[in-house]
Amino acid sequence: MKNGRYSIGEISRLCAISASKLRYLDEKGVISPCFVDKETGYRYYDDDTLLQISVLKYYQNSGFKLKDVEALLRRMTLDHLPPMFDRQIAALEEEMRWLRTQRDSLVAWRELVEETRSVLQGGPCAVRHVRFAPAGLFVSTPHIWEGISYKAIIANVDMVNHATRRSASVGPLYLYFPQGDRRRFQGLRLYIRPHPLSLPDMGQETVPGFCALTCYHKGPFDHAEEAYEKIRAYARENALPLRGDSFERSVADWWSTTNEEEFLLEIICPTKETDPGSLPVREF
């Protein structure tokens, strides 16, 4: 410092900001030298510049863009601050919402991985009798997909785009077969649970609650008929009439592993029961 003046190098060191950025701010008129040496052309700055740089850095650390801060520093009054702050608060709240949905989606995915590992390490899968609570789900349009593979359905681009365009989903993908015919995929729908913070205009459908028999299937999805047969046998033995439709909950698939022996599918066959009694309640 010389006579209360700071060179650009000194400002850079004191404020921990690059000299090139200081030159840019000078060129834009955001900061101005208090003195220019006519012989050397060196530009010197005073304490006002130190204050301006401190304010600029604080605003940038709060998420403001440089162009917004530049305009503010050129003409800072109390009238300029409220609308500027309101815009930034709204932007930060939207970013927080999106980060929350991303985090929760990953937490749900990790839980599916742990569920899969637990089931794969266990013994034979038993049939369970449960009740599903009503749920609002993202839903695809009905399709008749002849001769298409499970892999192509699970990787359904339209459904993924729908669920991620302006929102986020959590948990597994559900395949719904209205006729229970897995081979033709006739009228198949895809369901996935939206995040609680999802925007309300995403085309959700409310799935009514129902009682159901469920059973896991381990391994390639094409061989899940054994789990269906277990459910049908349980239904006959316990006089529980099935509706005929089914959901398949994809717990672990190509999104999590390339080894199909590590796949896990939960077969869900709704029953015609009207009185759930004391059945354990499941959520989609």
Report the chain (284 residues): mean pLDDT per 10 consecutive residues: 78 90 87 86 88 89 84 78 90 89 88 96 95 84 62 66 58 82 64 69 78 96 91 95 93 92 96 85 90
Note the pLDDT of residue 206.
Answer: 86
Answer yes or no: are the C-beta atoms of 174 and 249 closer than 8 Å: yes
Q: Where in the chain is the domain with CATH 1.10.1660.10?
A: 6-76
Provide CATH 3.20.80.10 ranges for the chain. 99-282
Which helix (H) or strand (E) is 204 found in, with range? strand 204-207
Superfamily of domain covering 99-282: Regulatory factor, effector binding domain (3.20.80.10)
Spatial strand order of the sheet with 210-218 comes to: 204-207, 135-139, 189-194, 169-177, 246-252, 264-270, 210-218, 128-132, 281-282
CB 272 within 8 A of CB 242: yes
Assigned token pair, 92:
């930060």
* pTM for the predicted model, two decimal places: 0.78
Q: Determine the Cα–Cα distance for residues 259 and 261; give it in Å rounded to an integer.
A: 5
What would the CATH number be for the domain defined by 6-76? 1.10.1660.10
